[in-house]
Structure 1
């Protein structure tokens, strides 16, 4: 049985996987400004409606976004204000380390260990 520390680390890794997909991250970034409908998210992100709907379902299942029906529309918003704060903090960190991240080849989808790790993590 994993230790509590190992479980906590695994849970953190799972949270960060929610942010790791560029489509999900685009949606979260769009929702930083406030609640939006699917159509508004599609417009802000340039993603297809199907892609947005699929990722919103994922983000909702993991409690990163919440939804509220308003007439014939559903409004989506970040589930916690600290998610927006985390995105802001990420920008601040990237200002300091952007060059290293840009040049890093370890976290690209083309990197062999990335594909192996991602396929065994699920």
Structure 2
């Protein structure tokens, strides 16, 4: 699968890319990924660090595992989660560069920016 293509614009074959960006598009999942970038953590650690409910963390970690972005390591009865692919760190670093280069202009986007999130929450 190639997200970037030099052929004419087409939607053929972009579904995996769409799924990848959607998997990271949820604020809770992105926060979990950012936290795991700092090192492995248990659900209890993520709950404490992110201030989200345990059930929320568990369901989002399961989603990230299903997407192949997060791995779990058993240690007795505890599961320690970590990022599964170093390429994810590279992609997040590239996103930071892009956000800096655009002056975080995406925040102003009427469809996906800060105002859109507020409008969505009000619905």
TM-score w.r.t. length of structure 2: 0.79
State yes or no: 1:86 paired with 2:94: no
Moved over 2 A (4+): 108-111
Match of 2:32 among 27, 33, 37: 27
Distance (Å, rounded) in 2 between the aligned partners of 1:81 and 1:88: 11
TM-score w.r.t. length of structure 1: 0.80
Alignment gaps of 5+ in structure 1? 112-122
Q: Which residue number in structure 2 is paired with residue 6 of structure 1? A: 12
State yes or no: 1:61 paired with 2:66: yes
Alignment gaps of 5+ in structure 2? 1-10
Aligned residues: 107
Higher helix share: 1
